[in-house]
C-alpha cells in the first residue's frame, strides 16, 4: 500500500511543531517501556542493551542533577563524550529540563572546545575522562567527568533520586541543539536548531534511509556532528527504532564483525568508511543481513558502488545535507519515492524539500545541465527551519535578496531527468572523511606558530578520505629553522594540539608567495587547481 508522501510529511511535522511539544516525551516516554531503545557495542564487541524504561530512569536522574545545579530552560549544557549509554542519558536529561544541548567533537583541541563553550555560554560540560584535559578549568562552566578516577557523573547519578516532575515542554520553536558549523572566514558560526528540526530527520530516517519497524539500524557517524547526532541518536529515538552505538574508533574488521553479529539490515556511514571496508574486504563475513546502505558527509565516488554491488549485491545511496538544513537531497530507499541510483550524482530533493539550481549571476533557475548555485526553495520546503545564525550574526548572506531561496554555498546542475549532480563547494569548505572543516579555522591556528608568516589551507584529493588538508606556508623571515620536513612535522603537531587531531594538514608546502585577488584575499581555488594538476601529472608519469 503506497503512502501519501505530502500528507505523511505534514503528519511528521505536526508531531514536532506544536506549542506543547515535549522532547523527552517524543524521544523516550511515549514508547513502550520494555522496548529496546539502544545497543551499545564495546571495543571487545560485548553489548549492552537498554530499554526505554532504562533511559527514562537514568535521564530522570540526570535531570535532577541539572535541577539541583540551577540549570533549566534555555541554559546550555555541552558534552565532550564518545558514543555511549551515558551520552544518551545526558541528552535526554538535558531536554527533560528544557535545556539546550551543545555537542562537541572529541577530536577538538582545547582552544576549539573553549571557543565553542564560550560562544554558546555553556553552563555545564559533561566530559569523558579521556578528554578532561581539553576542557579549560578557568571557564564560566562547571564540569562533570564520566569514567576514570574522577568519575563525578556516576557518583552524581547514584546519589540522586529520579526527577518525577513532568518534563518541560519547550514547544516546536523552542531551542533543542546549539551547534557550530565551520566557514571559510571568521569564527565558527552557531546554529540553534528548534525542536521542529527533528521532523526533518524523522522524515529522512523514514524516506531516505528507508528504515522500517523490522530494521536493525546502525549509523556509524560521530554524534559530535549533526549527521551522527540526529541519524544515530535523535531520529531513531523519535521514531521508536532501536539504534546502535559503537565505542572506539573505526576498524574495518570490527565493523564487519558488528554488521554480522548484530545482523544489521540498514547501515549508514561516510563514504570514507565504505572505502575502508573495501580496502579490507578480506575481513568481510560470509553471511550478512544487509538490505539498505546509505552514505553522507561527502560526495560518494563511483568506485564504492562498483565494489558494493559486486561484493554485497547492494548499492550505496548517497545523501546530502548541511547543519543549517538537515538532509534535503539524496537517493531515497523508501519504495514510494525511490529513483534509480546514478553513479556520481547527488540524487533528488527528498520529501519535504524543494531544490533548484540558480544561475550564477542572477536569481533565476539555470537551464538543465548548467552548473549554478544549489538552492532551497523556501516556500516549498516545509521541513526547513533555518532563519539566522546565533549571536546576532544574521543569515550571513545565505538567502537571496527576495528571501525565496536559501543558498547552500555549493554548486550543482540538474539533468533532464531531475537528478542533481554535485559540482563543487564555492565556499572553500574541506570535506575530509565526512567532516566539514573550515580552512580559516586551521589557518588561524597555523599563523600562531612563530615560523609562519602567512598561510593558506586547501583540499587535495585523496583516494581513501575523499579530500585531505594541505597547507601552503610562507615562513617567517626571522625564524632560524629551515623550512623542511622537521618544520612541516612541527606544524602538523601544532594543529593537532591547538585545534583538532583530525584536521591537521597531511602535507605542508613551503612557498615564497600566495596567489591573491587585487583586494588581498587569498585565492584558495587557484591553489586547489594547481595541486590537482600536480597530482594528475604525477599519476600520468607513474
List average pLDDT for each run of 10 residues in the chain, which is 542 residues long. Answer: 92 97 98 98 97 98 98 98 98 99 95 94 98 94 94 94 94 98 68 99 99 97 95 99 95 95 97 87 87 92 89 97 97 98 94 97 94 96 98 92 96 93 78 82 88 91 90 87 89 95 95 77 86 87 70
Give the DSSP H/E element, type plus range, for residue 517.
none
User: Which grid cell is 120?
Assistant: 554558546
Q: Are 21 and 195 in contact (CB under 8 A)?
A: yes
φ, ψ for residue 518 (rounded to 5)?
Answer: -55, -25
Q: What are the contacts of 278-285 at 24+ separation with CB within 8 A?
A: 278/303, 278/304, 278/307, 278/308, 278/311, 279/252, 279/464, 280/252, 280/253, 280/256, 281/307, 281/311, 283/252, 283/253, 283/256, 284/256, 284/311, 285/256, 285/257, 285/259, 285/260
User: Which grid cell is 344?
Assistant: 556520481
Rounded CA-CA distance 44/196 in Å is 38
Rounded CA-CA distance 217/239 in Å is 12
Q: Are 261 and 224 in contact (CB under 8 A)?
A: no
Structural domains of the chain in order of their starting residue, each with its CATH number: 22-27+45-195 (3.40.50.12780), 430-541 (3.30.300.30)
Rounded CA-CA distance 352/327 in Å is 10
Rounded CA-CA distance 471/488 in Å is 10
Q: Are 318 and 300 in contact (CB under 8 A)?
A: yes
**Which residues have a Cβ under 8 Å from the Cβ of 369 and sit 6 or more positions away?**
413, 414, 415, 416
| Residue 121, phi-psi category: left (phi > 0), alpha (psi -120 to 50), beta (remainder) | left
Task: Tell me what pLDDT residue 517 has.
Answer: 58
| Residue 228, phi-psi category: left (phi > 0), alpha (psi -120 to 50), beta (remainder) | alpha
Nearest to 373 by CA among 331, 412, 423, 414: 412
Task: Tell me what pLDDT residue 521 has.
Answer: 66
Q: How distant, in Å, are the alpha carbons of 220, 302, 303, 315, 467 from that of 344?
A: 22, 6, 9, 12, 16
Nearest to 221 by CA among 298, 279, 126, 333: 298
Task: Tell me what pLDDT residue 365 has.
Answer: 96
Strands 452-462 and 36-41: unpaired
Please give the DSSP secondary-structure letter assigned to residue 324: T
User: Which grid cell is 517?
Assistant: 585577488
Q: Angle between the 302-311 and 271-279 helix axes, to the nearest 10 degrees?
A: 50
Task: Tell me what pLDDT residue 53 has.
Answer: 98
User: Which grid cell is 440?
Assistant: 580559516
Task: Tell me what pLDDT residue 463 has.
Answer: 85
Task: Tell me what pLDDT residue 181 has.
Answer: 86
Claim: this prediction has a pTM higher than 0.85? yes
Cβ count within 10 A of residue 279: 13
Amino acid at each position: 500500500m503506497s503512502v501519501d508522501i505530502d500528507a505523511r510529511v505534514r503528519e511528521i511535522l505536526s508531531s514536532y511543531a506544536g506549542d506543547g511539544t515535549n522532547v523527552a516525551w517524543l524521544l523516550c516516554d511515549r514508547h513502550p517501556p520494555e522496548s529496546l531503545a539502544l545497543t551499545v557495542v564495546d571495543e571487545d564487541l560485548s553489548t549492552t542493551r537498554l530499554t526505554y524504561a532504562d533511559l527514562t530512569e537514568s535521564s530522570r536522574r540526570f535531570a535532577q542533577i541539572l535541577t539541583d545545579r540551577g540549570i533549566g530552560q534555555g541554559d546550555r549544557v555541552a558534552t565532550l563524550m564518545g558514543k555511549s549509554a551515558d551520552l544518551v542519558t545526558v541528552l535526554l536529561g538535558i531536554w527533560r529540563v528544557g535545556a539546550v544541548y551543545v555537542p562537541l567533537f572529541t577530536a577538538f583541541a582545547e582552544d576549539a572546545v573553549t571557543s565553542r563553550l564560550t560562544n554558546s555560554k555553556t553552563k555545564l560540560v559533561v566530559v569523558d575522562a579521556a578528554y578532561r584535559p581539553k576542557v579549560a578549568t578557568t571557564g564560566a562552566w562547571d564540569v562533570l567527568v564520566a569514567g576514570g578516577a574522577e568519575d563525578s557523573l556516576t557518583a552524581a547519578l547514584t546519589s540522586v533520586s529520579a526527577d518525577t516532575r513532568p518534563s518541560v515542554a519547550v514547544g516546536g520553536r523552542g531551542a533543542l541543539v546549539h551547534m557550530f558549523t565551520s566557514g571559510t572566514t571568521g569564527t565558527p558560526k552557531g546554529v540553534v536548531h528548534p525542536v521542529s528540526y527533528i521532523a526533518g530527520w524523522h522524515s529522512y530516517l523514514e524516506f531516505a534511509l528507508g528504515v522500517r519497524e523490522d530494521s536493525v539500524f546502525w549509523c556509524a557517524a560521530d554524534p559530535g556532528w549533526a549527521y551522527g547526532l540526529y541519524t544515530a541518536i535523535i531520529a531513531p529515538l523519535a521514531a521508536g527504532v532501536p539504534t546502535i552505538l559503537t565505542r572506539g574508533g573505526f576498524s574495518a574488521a570490527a565493523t564487519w564483525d558488528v554488521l554480522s553479529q548484530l545482523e544489521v539490515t540498514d547501515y549508514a556511514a561516510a563514504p570514507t568508511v565504505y572505502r575502508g571496508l573495501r580496502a579490507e574486504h578480506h575481513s568481510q563475513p560470509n553471511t550478512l543481513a544487509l538490505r539498505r546502505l546509505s552514505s553522507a558527509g561527502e560526495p560518494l565516488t563511483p568506485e564504492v558502488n562498483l565494489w558494493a554491488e559486486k561484493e554485497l549485491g547492494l548499492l550505496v545511496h548517497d545523501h546530502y545535507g548541511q547543519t543549517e538544513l538537515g538532509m534535503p537531497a539524496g537517493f531515497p530507499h523508501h519504495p514510494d519515492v525511490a529513483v534509480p541510483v546514478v553513479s556520481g550524482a547527488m540524487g533528488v530533493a527528498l520529501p519535504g524539500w524543494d531544490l533548484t539550481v540558480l544561475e550564477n549571476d542572477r536569481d533565476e533557475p539555470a537551464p538543465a545541465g548548467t552548473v549554478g548555485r544549489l538552492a532551497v526553495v523556501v516556500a516549498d520546503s516545509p521541513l526547513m527551519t533555518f532563519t539566522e545564525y546565533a549571536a546576532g550574526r544574521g543569515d550571513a548572506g545565505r538567502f537571496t535578496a527576495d528571501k525565496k531561496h536559501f543558498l547552500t554555498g555549493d554548486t550543482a546542475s540538474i539533468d533532464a531527468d531531475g537528478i542533481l549532480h554535485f559540482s563543487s563547494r564555492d565556499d572553500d569548505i574541506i570535506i575530509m572523511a565526512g567532516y566539514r572543516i573550515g580552512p580559516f579555522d586551521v589557518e588561524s591556528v597555523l599563523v600562531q606558530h612563530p615560523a609562519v608568516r602567512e598561510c593558506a589551507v586547501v583540499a587535495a584529493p585523496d583516494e581513501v578520505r575523499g579530500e585531505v588538508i594541505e597547507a601552503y606556508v610562507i615562513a617567517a623571515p626571522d625564524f632560524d629553522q629551515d623550512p623542511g620536513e622537521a618544520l612541516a612535522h612541527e606544524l602538523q603537531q601544532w594543529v593537532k594540539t591547538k585545534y583538532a587531531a583530525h584536521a591537521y594538514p597531511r602535507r605542508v608546502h613551503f612557498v615564497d608567495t600566495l596567489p591573491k585577488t587585487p583586494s588581498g584575499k587569498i585565492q584558495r581555488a587557484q591553489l586547489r587547481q594547481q595541486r590537482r594538476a600536480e597530482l594528475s601529472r604525477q599519476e600520468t608519469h607513474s
